[in-house]
Amino acid sequence: MDTKTRMIETATKLFQQRGYKAVGLNELLQACGITKGALYHHFPGGKEELLIACLHSLNETLTRDIELVFNCASSTEDAARAVIGEMIKDLDRNGTIAGYTFSSIVSEMSLLSEPARDACRALYEKIQSIYRAKLLEDGFSSDRATSVSLFLTASIEGGLLLCRAQNSSIPLQTISNVIPELMKEF
């Protein structure tokens, strides 16, 4: 794998786990096994340009990963539970979550540049659009699909937050269990 790709992949994980500010440049370089020269060669804009590249990369890999799960699922309900299942596996194994979310970055959005904020926005829109498409497949009306996809995204992200706070995967498990009953209603 070439250096640039390796940089993006490593940095993406770090940013996802701990946010933007909390990841120092030197730590980043060490984790990637590169030097400042390499970083500023590939990303003249420095740390923030790397972040944006990571967000764009996330847009692709996340979309791919989620769509893969969604294609195997028979319903939105199954799909959501499957995604949560993956998160829980991550959490129980590594103690952190490096896939399917980037909430740590979002909470620092106020101090990011506009391009970075745009990339974040695009990412959430993409995720919700995948949910929405599946909901439409399931026979939901357009309006319904919009609000339910938002609701699903929110509760999963919120559940992840609670997991981080409690250092346990139980909140996401609870949410995974509640979702089926919730979907029945809609």
Least Å from the CB of residue 36 to DNA = 4
Token readout for 43 is: 């990303």
Residues 168, 165: Cα–Cα separation, whole Å: 8
Q: Is residue 113 involved in binding DNA (CB under 7 A)?
A: no
Q: Which residues contact 64 (CB under 8 A, 6 or more apart)?
A: none
Instruction: Single out the residue of 52, 21, 181 nearest to residue 114, CA to CA.
Output: 52
Q: How many angstroms separate the CA atoms of 60 and 7, rounded?
A: 16
Contact characters 66-95, a second copy, x per CB under 8 A: ------------------------------
* Residue type, position 121, single letter: R
The sign one gets for the Cα dihedral 32, 47, 96, 179 is negative
- Alpha carbon distances (Å) from 25 to 95, 113, 156: 23, 17, 30
17 binds a second copy (CB under 8 A): yes
Length in residues, the chain: 186
What number of other Cβ atoms are within 10 A of residue 133's Cβ? 15
* Residue 53 interacts with a second copy (CB under 8 A): yes or no: no
Among 29, 34, 106, 130, binds a second copy (CB under 8 A): 106
- Is position 110 an interface residue for DNA (rule: CB under 7 A)? no
Q: Which does 35 bind (CB under 5 to 8 A by kind): DNA, a second copy, none?
A: DNA
Touching DNA, residues 154-183 (CB under 7 A): none
Using CB under 7 A as the binding rule, whether residue 132 contacts DNA is answered as no
Q: According to the binding rule CB under 7 A, does residue 4 interact with DNA?
A: yes
Q: Which stretches of the chain bind DNA, using CB under 7 A?
A: 2-4, 23-27, 34-38, 40-42, 44, 46-48
Q: Which stretches of the chain bind a second copy, using CB under 8 A?
A: 17-19, 21-22, 96, 103-104, 106-111, 117, 120-121, 124, 146-148, 150-151, 153-159, 161-162, 164-167, 171, 174-175, 177-178, 181-182, 184-186
